[in-house]
Chains A and B, each alone.
Chain A
Amino acid sequence: MVTSKRRSTTVRSAWSLFAVIVALLQVACDETFVALAESERTFSVFGYLDPAADTQWVRVTPTRPVIFTSREPLSATVELKALGSGKTIVLRDSVFAFPVFQQTGADSFYVHNFWTDEPIEPGEVYEFKASAPDGLPATATVAIPAEFPITVALNQVSQAASSVDQARVDGTAHIAFVRVDVYFHDGCGNGLQVQNFPAPRNGSGSHVVQVSKLNPLAREGCGDARVHRRMLRIIGSQEPWPTGPQFDIGALGASAIPTNLTNGVGFLGGVLTRTVPYEPCTLIGPDPRPTHCELSYGPEKATVRGILTDVCGARILPNGEIALEELPGQGQTHRKMRPATTDLTGLFVIQGLDPGLVYELRATHLERDPDLDEPVFDVYVDTIGPLAPGGEHTHNVSVPRLLPC
């Protein structure tokens, strides 16, 4: 039998013991929580170096602990060192402010883009370094491709817009992107559309790129589009260009995200962008004709340009039809005929012409008199050449008329 005195003592002892245990738990189990992982990856770097660009821009961001940004200058030194020549370029910080940024709800979002207008040399290897007073510098080695020639081979089997032409590229280890810039005009004025084509994924240094002279998408309410020029952009790189889900910007697992930076995250690429005209070409001559008409663009090639005007009053003629044809008897088995269309300023440009040859230039315009329903213009014919190597020949054309002024 338990007396009341023993029972109250037991109860007091139990509560005392419980209080001690609670106190011990409170003290012993108090933890300091560190949310962020420690990392040597102090910088995030994104951008690319391209000798074809007037200014090089590289985004440098410290891997900050919160989402908010600051307009204060970074206490960071960002520089490029050419390993071949030993020249060092220091990039300058430029703070960009964007007025609205949804994720943070803040009014302004600040980013740091470092830049230089010093030339980047083809064939050079640069060491990029972003360093801060604290922590290890983030570095990357960026190789720039050397100059590489491009030969454009126009399909002679089919001249349809979807027919596949080729661009042969040698001298760059990899091709990152293939683009065709399509310059056109319509009822709304001049326009530009960029078309993407698959880049070959091999590191052989010799590439064949498949492209097509696709028509641009018509702009709403602007009528039909007339293409007056195409430019083929080949972007080469010395290293394989990143592809695959592991390079997704949403990739998880910081330690597993691929990057070419040491002590950093992100990507800094090295490219050389070469742009050549993507012009039509037709071979004239006996069968069997070659399957492709090859055009190469180099310093030795010649260019013919001119303005097409109406002989009456010198009215500029857009959408004029131009043909520049190699005259026979100059040693070619098959002669090249180079068509062109004048733009809204009446300008035509034909590049990649072989020097030393004489060409026949024909020009006309398909305008018809609305009352008589007859063509207005006759065909202009003239001889040009021999063209000098690397020469720029200007040949303005006044198109004669079939109908009186």
Chain B
Amino acid sequence: MLTRFRHWTLSRVAASARALRAESASLLVPAWLVIAIGALLGVGLSARPAMAVQQASLQGIVSSGRTGAPLEGTIIVLLSGDEELRSTVSDRNGFYQIGGIAPGDYTLRAQYFSVQPFEQTVTLSPGELVTFNIELSGDAISLEGITVTAPGGGGVVRNLGRQRITPAQLRTVPVPSGTGDLATYLQTLPGVVTTGDRGGQIFIRGGTAADNLILIDGAPIFQPFHIFGFYSVFPEDLVSSVDFYAGGFGPRYTGRSSSVIDVQLRDGDPTTYRSIWSGGLFLAEGLVEGPLGDHFSWLVSGRRSLVEETSRFLLGNTQPITFSSQLLKVSTHDIENLRCSGLALRTSDKGRLDPEAWDSYVAWRNLVLGGRCVALFNSWLRLVEINFSYSRVENNAVIRGSGDLLSAIRRLQHDAHTTNMIWGLPLYAGYVIYVELVDHHIVELFGLQRSVADVSGIGGYVETSLGVEDYLEVRPGVALTALPRRGAEPRIRASLQPFGRPSEKLQAAFGVYLQDLVGASDMRDVSSVFVSWMRDPDLPPMVAVQGMMGWQQTLGDAVNWSLEGYYKRLRDVSVPKWSAVAEFGTELTKVDGEAYGLDARVEWTTPRFYGFAGYSYGWVEYEGDSEEFGTWFGETIQRFHPPHDRRHQANVVANLEVADFTASLRWQFGSGLPYTRPLGFDEAFDFRRDLQDVTAGTGTTRMILDRPFTHRLPLTHRLDIAVRRSFAVKSGVLEITAGAINVYDRRNMFFYDLYSGRRVDQLPLMPYAAITLRAD
């Protein structure tokens, strides 16, 4: 019976191969890849039916006994006597499942970091699905995830291309405030490039800022990083966990080609009213949370920058940058097998990146409304996650008093994700439906450009997990899009423990990633943070085919090192057409590209010390037909390194506990970013269409530029330090932080204003202090 079923599945796959080959040309992916992944899915699904009838399954949610918050990363082990049969790790919903278990008696063990392990005997009957929810309690856990007694603050957890980031890790990197922040932490990761200490954009492994998918409790957010580069809408006190993919993400995530930052916020405390108040020279923030009835909790947070007010006496000149954010989250608790939450988030950023450019500024505002429910079922449909969200961002920039740039994107989205068990094999599937309105309104030298596009999207995905014991896991999957255009994005991820030890892991991922949405910015100026969101239905989507492979190893008890290489082929990358005439171009053209690199990281963890050093080598090049640019370069084919192509980057972070103090430092280094070197300014006349009367007007001012991006800005490096001490006070815990940014006062260039000949540097030596009160 098994043989007949398998034969049927393979013949079906073979029969559709011809159709797929023909179809794949329009689906923009290699046919062989679609067929290969489809075959893997089919073989995997077909291999189980006969055995699955007799086998049992175990599932459940691991949560905090006090707050009910899901505990991601709990190691679940199924033991038969002393023999370890199967193991798995709970996901971000706290969900675990183990299938294909022979009937019998077992011991179920749950281990969450250094918390006392939980053990329970379970008896499984043939074909039975047992739901076993686990609640863990312990003094060592602060169940909001703020402090977790993980060794040394928490080493990086990587699996299948995903890096899980915890609040404890956010705390290890000095931030000029009382709490850690995801923005600063991400910048220490290899492959993550920023333009400096302001701007709010990150570039990951050769992708642009618009190529990153950022989610907050499942809702998209377009520009979550604040204009002051240390901060984002994700401070450590709000974050439960972050799934960060620098590439190689699975088919659950679509619409972006470079990276995924999937942030889970923690819920409010359902048992106790708490508050956190922090004030310092850079930032003031407050957080209040508590129960709401028997089954709800709430959390309210607000942040506001103080840089503009304090920089005057700290630096002697005002840094005209301001930002703020407000968050409200309501969550359910103690409802069996169901968790729901709703959130409302608003952010506002505004500032002059060049303090002396009085007639220029940039601003953006986010609004995110989201609702999510996660439910556990006792059937083949195991876990269902349903999201509804509305996300909006509005950008605005005024350039030298004349250009007025506006861009907005509004997205209404519904998505659902299921975790299933089909014939003993995990199956992950879901869909997304959205309506998106993209708008830009550009008034500049040559008048008005206006464009509005509304787009509807429908897509779905399926993925499974094929394992051989515990040392090999392969996850083939595919994302399918029906609107706004048909597409298939096959992806495969794998994790191998070649020596049977989880401390030594080889991981790889390969896949196709499509992106329709374009975030155009002025590529001539790397510090230009205004993003014009655009969709052009007449242009093909960007296609990224990328592969990555990495090795991770733990040496002894203290050292963990990893090495990961990646390679991307990019097709139809949208870039603005260029001109030596100063104007924000929204006319797009397409180029192809190539990116590759190597990321290395070493971590050292002891009871009193945690530190890591990371290095990344990156290389990105675009190639396009010169005629497509609308401007003449003198060559038929133009190759250039885009302005976010940082060749070398290094970070060193160290945390040391001495007596009651925690000292931390961060040293960062980056090689120079590409820029286009000019000869100077003149006024030009176009004699192609008529004899020009040079007395009748000024002509058109232009910057005579050399070949694009053939020069590099200076390298940058900076040392930040902080010292922190906590005191127990009557109302809670008082924490005092003092530190300095740019300790050796290095002049790191942020950008050079070619129009005025003025250099704008990043922050000089800037001391700071902050007080944080965590009150019950």
**Is A101 touching B632 in the complex (CB atoms < 8 A)?**
no
User: What separation, in Å, do the CA atoms of A251 and B579 have in the docked complex?
Assistant: 6
Query: Which B residues are CB-close (under 8 A) to A58?
Result: 694
User: What separation, in Å, do the CA atoms of A265 and B708 have in the docked complex?
Assistant: 18
Interface of B is mostly: loop
**Interface: A127 (CB within 8 A):** no
Query: Which B residues are CB-close (under 8 A) to A269?
Result: 687, 691
Query: Which B residues are CB-close (under 8 A) to A148?
Result: none
**Which of B632, B697, B717, B747 has a CB less than 8 Å from the CB of A248?**
B632
Give the most central of A30, A196, A253: most B CB within 10 Å.
Answer: A253
**Is B627 touching A105 in the complex (CB atoms < 8 A)?**
no
**Interface: B757 (CB within 8 A):** yes
**Interface: B756 (CB within 8 A):** yes
The B-contacting residues of A in range 220-235, CB under 8 angstroms, are 235
CB distance from B371 to the nearest CB of A (A): 47
User: What separation, in Å, do the CA atoms of A101 and B699 have in the docked complex?
Assistant: 11
**Is A33 touching B759 in the complex (CB atoms < 8 A)?**
yes
**Is A256 touching B695 in the complex (CB atoms < 8 A)?**
no
Query: Which A residues are CB-close (under 8 A) to B400?
Result: 103-105
Q: Which stretch from A60-68, A184-192, A345-353, A371-379 is at the chain B interface?
A: A60-68
Query: Which A residues are CB-close (under 8 A) to B714?
Result: 31, 33
Query: Which B residues are CB-close (under 8 A) to A251?
Result: 580, 631-633
**Interface: B688 (CB within 8 A):** yes
**Is B752 touching A33 in the complex (CB atoms < 8 A)?**
yes
Instruction: Tell me how many residues of A have a C-beta within 8 Å of chain B.
Output: 65
The B-contacting residues of A in range 10-50, CB under 8 angstroms, are 22-23, 25-26, 29-31, 33, 35-37, 39, 41, 44, 46-48, 50
**Interface: A126 (CB within 8 A):** no
**Is A103 touching B445 in the complex (CB atoms < 8 A)?**
yes
**Interface: A51 (CB within 8 A):** no
Residue of A at shortest CB range from B755? A67
Chain B proximity mask over A138-157: 1 for CB below 8 Å, otherwise 0: 00000000000000000000
Contacts known (A59-B699, A111-B698, A113-B695); A248 close to B679, Cβ less than 8 A: no
**Is B402 touching A105 in the complex (CB atoms < 8 A)?**
yes
**Is A66 touching B757 in the complex (CB atoms < 8 A)?**
yes
Residue of A at shortest CB range from B580? A250
CB distance from A91 to the nearest CB of B (A): 12
User: What separation, in Å, do the CA atoms of A96 and B698 have in the docked complex?
Assistant: 9
Query: Which A residues are CB-close (under 8 A) to B690?
Result: 177, 196
Query: Which B residues are CB-close (under 8 A) to A62?
Result: 680
CB distance from A304 to the nearest CB of B (A): 32
Query: Which B residues are CB-close (under 8 A) to A65?
Result: 680-681, 757
Query: Which A residues are CB-close (under 8 A) to B749?
Result: 33
CB distance from B664 to the nearest CB of A (A): 14
**Is A248 touching B683 in the complex (CB atoms < 8 A)?**
no
**Is B634 touching A253 in the complex (CB atoms < 8 A)?**
yes
Query: Which A residues are CB-close (under 8 A) to B485?
Result: none
**Is B702 touching A249 in the complex (CB atoms < 8 A)?**
yes
Query: Which A residues are CB-close (under 8 A) to B746?
Result: 26
**Interface: A246 (CB within 8 A):** yes
Residue of B at shortest CB range from A256? B634
**Is B684 touching A46 in the complex (CB atoms < 8 A)?**
yes
Query: Which A residues are CB-close (under 8 A) to B759?
Result: 33, 35
Query: Which B residues are CB-close (under 8 A) to A63?
Result: 679-682, 704
CB distance from B650 to the nearest CB of A (A): 11
**Which of B359, B713, B717, B719 has a CB less than 8 Å from the CB of A29?**
B717
**Interface: A197 (CB within 8 A):** no
User: What separation, in Å, do the CA atoms of A33 and B632 have in the docked complex?
Assistant: 28
Chain A proximity mask over B700-727: 1 for CB below 8 Å, otherwise 0: 1110111110010111010100000000
**Interface: B66 (CB within 8 A):** no
**Interface: A242 (CB within 8 A):** yes
**Is B677 touching A37 in the complex (CB atoms < 8 A)?**
yes
**Interface: A255 (CB within 8 A):** yes
Contacts known (A35-B677, A249-B580, A249-B702); A265 close to B682, Cβ less than 8 A: yes
Residue of A at shortest CB range from B758? A66
Query: Which A residues are CB-close (under 8 A) to B700?
Result: 249
**Interface: A128 (CB within 8 A):** no
The A-contacting residues of B in range 595-636, CB under 8 angstroms, are 627, 630-635
User: What separation, in Å, do the CA atoms of A109 and B701 have in the docked complex?
Assistant: 11
**Is A57 touching B695 in the complex (CB atoms < 8 A)?**
yes
User: What separation, in Å, do the CA atoms of A67 and B715 have in the docked complex?
Assistant: 26
**Is B699 touching A252 in the complex (CB atoms < 8 A)?**
no
**Is B687 touching A267 in the complex (CB atoms < 8 A)?**
yes
**Interface: A243 (CB within 8 A):** yes
**Interface: B581 (CB within 8 A):** yes
Contacts known (A269-B687, A271-B691); A26 close to B402, Cβ less than 8 A: no
The B-contacting residues of A in range 251-266, CB under 8 angstroms, are 251-257, 265-266
**Interface: B82 (CB within 8 A):** no
Contacts known (A177-B690, A253-B633); A61 close to B698, Cβ less than 8 A: no
CB distance from A45 to the nearest CB of B (A): 9
**Interface: A133 (CB within 8 A):** no
Query: Which B residues are CB-close (under 8 A) to A96?
Result: 695
**Is B708 touching A252 in the complex (CB atoms < 8 A)?**
yes
Contacts known (A46-B684, A59-B685, A111-B698); A253 close to B677, Cβ less than 8 A: no
**Is A113 touching B754 in the complex (CB atoms < 8 A)?**
no
**Interface: B275 (CB within 8 A):** no
User: What separation, in Å, do the CA atoms of A329 and B746 have in the docked complex?
Assistant: 99
User: Which are the 8 A-B pairs with shortest beta-carbon distances?
Assistant: A256-B634, A250-B579, A44-B682, A246-B632, A63-B680, A249-B684, A59-B694, A102-B402
- B: residues with CB less than 8 A from A are 359, 400-402, 445, 578-582, 627, 630-635, 667, 676-688, 690-695, 697-702, 704-708, 711, 713-715, 717, 719, 744, 746-747, 749, 752, 754-757, 759
8 contacts between A and B (CB under 8 A): A36-B677, A46-B684, A46-B692, A57-B694, A66-B755, A98-B697, A104-B755, A109-B698
Supply 10 further A-B pairs (C-beta < 8 A) apart from A33-B749, A67-B755, A111-B683: A22-B744, A35-B759, A48-B692, A61-B683, A102-B402, A196-B690, A246-B634, A248-B688, A252-B705, A252-B708
